[in-house]
């Protein structure tokens, strides 16, 4: 387990103590070009580019996640992993006055990048930690958000992440998952996305082949599950209520 340490949001972004960086092998080997290398962060931190990668669906998917979390987001929210673009600033903008937002990411460079995008706000805490081994108490969050995280993780890490999300959310709380999904058989982007996944995102096909529910720990049954898809089925939002 990586003990989380906090990074204070906004300038000075590195005010908090940092734990020794621990970079999972799949990030270092498979996703260095997207998240690990400083030039990658500089390159990808452009909303138009993220929107292009999502074929124009970035805002729609962010809107869906934010709507699911509420017009005024109450209680304690955990965002598992940083996201390029304005999702987290928008989420912060919806926090109720007494609400709290924690964002956990395993890469300090991503936490620093996020800190630079956020206004100083004591309701936000950025945590250095691994989504599959959180140092958070059971049932300590009202909702958990996973935005395009699961498809990047090897199966054993994905299973750990979902187990942790369901462990730390309170009974009755939501786990909101936005990610890839199997598109319809005649979807014109199927061949292209297959090639993208084959060459760049080797774990993503798992979300074409399986429902998110299939990666939950044995014996863990959410109280309810809702799924909605967009763009011919290429994207999904699955909401688990514990």
- Name the residue with the smallest CB distance to ligand SAM: 81
Residue closer to ligand SAM, measured from CB, 54 or 95 = 54
DSSP 74-110: -SEEEEES--SSSHHHHHHHHB-TT-EEEEEES-HHH
Structure tokens at 97: 């006055």
Backbone angles phi, psi at 233, to 5 degrees: 95, 0
Residues in the chain: 242
- Nearest approach in angstroms of CB 98 to ligand SAM is 27
Q: How far is CA 33 from CA 111, 168, 200, in A?
A: 17, 31, 10
Nearer to ligand SAM, 153 or 238 (CB): 153
Positions in the binding site for ligand SAM (CB under 6 A): 24, 27, 35, 50, 81-85, 104-107, 110, 130-132, 147-149, 152-153, 157
**Considering beta carbons, is residue 13 or 85 the nearer one to ligand SAM?**
85
Cis? peptide before 129, omega within 30° of 0: no
Nearest approach in angstroms of CB 145 to ligand SAM is 10
Q: Which is nearer to ligand SAM, 156 or 228 (CB)?
A: 156
Q: Smallest gap, in angstroms, from Cβ of residue 40 to ligand SAM?
A: 10
Q: What is the CA radius of gyration of the chain?
A: 17
Write down the least CB distance from residue 223 to ligand SAM, Å.
26
């Amino acid at each position: 387990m990586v003990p989380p340490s906090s990074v204070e949001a906004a300038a000075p972004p590195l005010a908090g103590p940092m734990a020794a960086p621990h970079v999972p092998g799949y990030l270092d080997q498979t996703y260095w070009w997207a998240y690990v290398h400083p030039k990658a962060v500089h390159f990808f931190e452009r909303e138009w580019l993220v929107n292009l990668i999502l074929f124009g669906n970035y805002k729609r998917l962010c809107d869906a996640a934010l709507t699911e979390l509420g017009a005024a987001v109450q209680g304690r929210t955990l965002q598992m992993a940083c996201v390029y673009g304005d999702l987290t600033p928008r989420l912060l903008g919806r926090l109720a006055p007494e609400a709290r937002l924690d964002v956990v990411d395993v890469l300090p460079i991503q936490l620093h990048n996020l800190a630079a995008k956020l206004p100083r706000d004591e309701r936000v805490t950025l945590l250095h930690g691994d989504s599959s081994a959180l140092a958070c108490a059971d049932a300590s969050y009202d909702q958990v958000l996973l935005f395009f995280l699961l498809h990047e993780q090897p199966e054993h890490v994905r299973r750990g992440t979902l187990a942790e999300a369901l462990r730390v959310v309170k009974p009755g709380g939501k786990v909101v998952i936005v990610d890839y999904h199997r598109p319809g058989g005649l979807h014109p982007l199927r061949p292209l996305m297959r090639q993208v996944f084959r060459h760049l995102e080797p774990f993503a096909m798992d979300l074409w082949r399986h429902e998110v529910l299939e990666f939950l720990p044995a014996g863990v049954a959410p109280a309810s599950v809702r799924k909605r898809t967009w763009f011919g089925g290429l994207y999904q939002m699955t909401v688990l209520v514990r």
